[in-house]
């Protein structure tokens, strides 16, 4: 496998693929040609704001500069690799279903909730949540509404709305829970 290109090498490669000279890219990105040359030769480290400007000028996304690193994250995670997550106020056994979360846009969990167990009082945070109930039943409160969700059903809501849950059933409830952005 070939070594990953540096950010500077990617800028140079993409600039050439677009047919831009250093001066043309500099003009589009509102930067000096000398600075772009330093970036391309790994003599300068651009800020995220500068990367955004260069990416925009090249019709790319900032994340594209880091794609090689993202592809090195494990694709498959087996149950023996799941880590236990302690979520404040949650009465549950929660397992993270991916190994590396820092570079992710979402965080999936397998959550097992015992009968009578509940989350803390309604709370809110930036993001969104999705859940798919594998077994049992969960009662969720979102905003001013209350929903009971059973097996093979799902829920989705903005986490900005105050939300909470309780297992009012007589058996464990297992849920695939996805939070975006990663919070835990």
What is the pTM assigned to this prediction?
Answer: 0.61
Q: Which domains does the chain have, with CATH numbers?
A: 7-71 (1.10.260.40), 79-180 (2.60.120.10)
State which residues of the chain have pLDDT below 70: 1-4, 67-73, 100-103, 184
pLDDT of residue 103: 62
Helix (H), strand (E) at residue 34? helix 33-40
Contact 122, 163 (CB under 8 A): yes
pLDDT of residue 75: 80
pLDDT of residue 150: 98
Q: Respond yes or no on whether the N-terminal peptide bond of residue 137 is cis (omega within 30° of 0).
A: no
pLDDT of residue 3: 58
Q: 133 phi and psi, to 5 degrees?
A: -80, 120
The stretches of 59-176 forming alpha helices (DSSP H) are: 67-71
């Amino acid at each position: 496998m070939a070594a990953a290109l540096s950010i500077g090498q990617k800028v140079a490669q993409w600039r050439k693929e677009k047919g831009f000279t250093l001066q043309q890219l500099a003009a589009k990105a509102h930067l000096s040609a000398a600075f772009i040359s330093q970036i391309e030769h790994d003599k300068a480290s651009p800020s995220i704001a500068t990367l955004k400007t260069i990416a925009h000028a090249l019709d790319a996304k900032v994340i594209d500069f880091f794609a090689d690193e993202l592809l090195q994250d494990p694709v498959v995670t087996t149950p023996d690799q799941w880590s236990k997550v302690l979520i404040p106020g949650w009465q549950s056994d929660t397992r993270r279903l991916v190994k590396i979360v820092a570079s992710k846009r979402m965080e999936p969990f397998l959550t097992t909730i015992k009968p009578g167990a509940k989350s803390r009082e309604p709370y809110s945070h930036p993001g969104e949540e999705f859940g798919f109930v594998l077994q049992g039943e969960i009662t969720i409160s979102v905003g001013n509404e209350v929903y009971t969700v059973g097996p093979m059903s799902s829920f989705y809501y903005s986490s900005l709305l105050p939300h909470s849950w309780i297992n009012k059933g007589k058996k464990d409830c297992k849920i695939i829970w996805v939070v975006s952005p990663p919070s835990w």
